Amino acid sequence: MKIKNILDQKKLTLSCEVFPPKREGNLEILYTTIKELGVISPDFISVTYGAGGSTRDKTIEIASKVKNDFGMEVLAHLTCVQSTRDDIAAILDALREENVENILALRGDPPEGTEKFVRIAGGFGYANELVEFIKAHDDFSIGVAGYPEGHIEAPSIDVDLVNLKRKVDAGADFIITQLFFNNNDFYRFRDRALKLKIRVPIIPGIFPVLNYNQFIRIASPLYGAKITSRLADKIEKLKDNPGEIEKYGIEYAINQMYNLLGNEVPGFHIYTMNRSDPVRKILGELPLPR
């Protein structure tokens, strides 16, 4: 089922994001996690695309497994990185053959070892170009990324929102946001998007901090996420107590989602880091109108 239709039919959607493992043998572990996530009945599972397109084949394989073997709807990520138009067309055909109907269209990060994204000959330089190409190729439901704090490469949030408008005008059906920890950033982002006449659903992305290394990584320039002083102070105090960090990260995510629930969001997209237990604990504390 197309995600745009799910969003039309449901008051609140729930989705979970997983990523292809780097090691081949860990694929079965991921499949176990996905089956465990099935207990919470997500509306769709999102499968990421490795940096530089490094997990392209695995993304298609996992997306197919989710859709055809596990019977769950799936959203396959697709980026412009190191791919020509012919490459993208071939991937779209492969996804269609596996009954995948939904794509998250992204420009993508530069390949490992490079600092800037470079459009290759015959390829795309921006996500709106990829959206337009997918739209013309076949009848997929297309999602795009939104950045409540602005994309790290954008000179301003206003410029970033204009770029988001281009993606929506090119044919995107919905927006999933990058992680954020201050809900006011999300509300300001949503209000600004509405002023630009961006009318598609904007789904907030929720990232439960589960360990200290995650905390350090998401606070780095690569992510550019703003960490609230309350979260930062607490995690620093608990950095030698992994169990308490996870407990607090789950509590913080629950409080974030409670607040968002009262402010008419169309759904929640949870970045699972390939773990099911924290997700189930979070949802066990929330009265979600499903």
Catalytic sites, residue numbers? 17
For the chain, what percentages of helix, strand and coil (3-state, to nearest 5) are there? 45, 15, 40
Question: CA–CA separation, 36 vs 213, rounded Å?
Answer: 25
Most distant CA atoms of the chain, gap in Å: 52
Q: Partners of 202 in the beta sheet? A: 175
Beta carbons of 224 and 152 less than 8 angstroms apart: yes
Indicate the DSSP class of residue 276: S
Residues 6+ apart with CB under 8 A from 94: 60
Q: What is the residue type of 27? A: L
CA dist 18 and 276 (Å) reads 10
Alpha carbon distance 55, 77 (integer Å): 11
Sequential DSSP letters for 151-217: -TTSSSHHHHHHHHHHHHHTT--EEEEEE-S-HHHHHHHHHHHHHTT--S-EEEEE----SHHHHHH
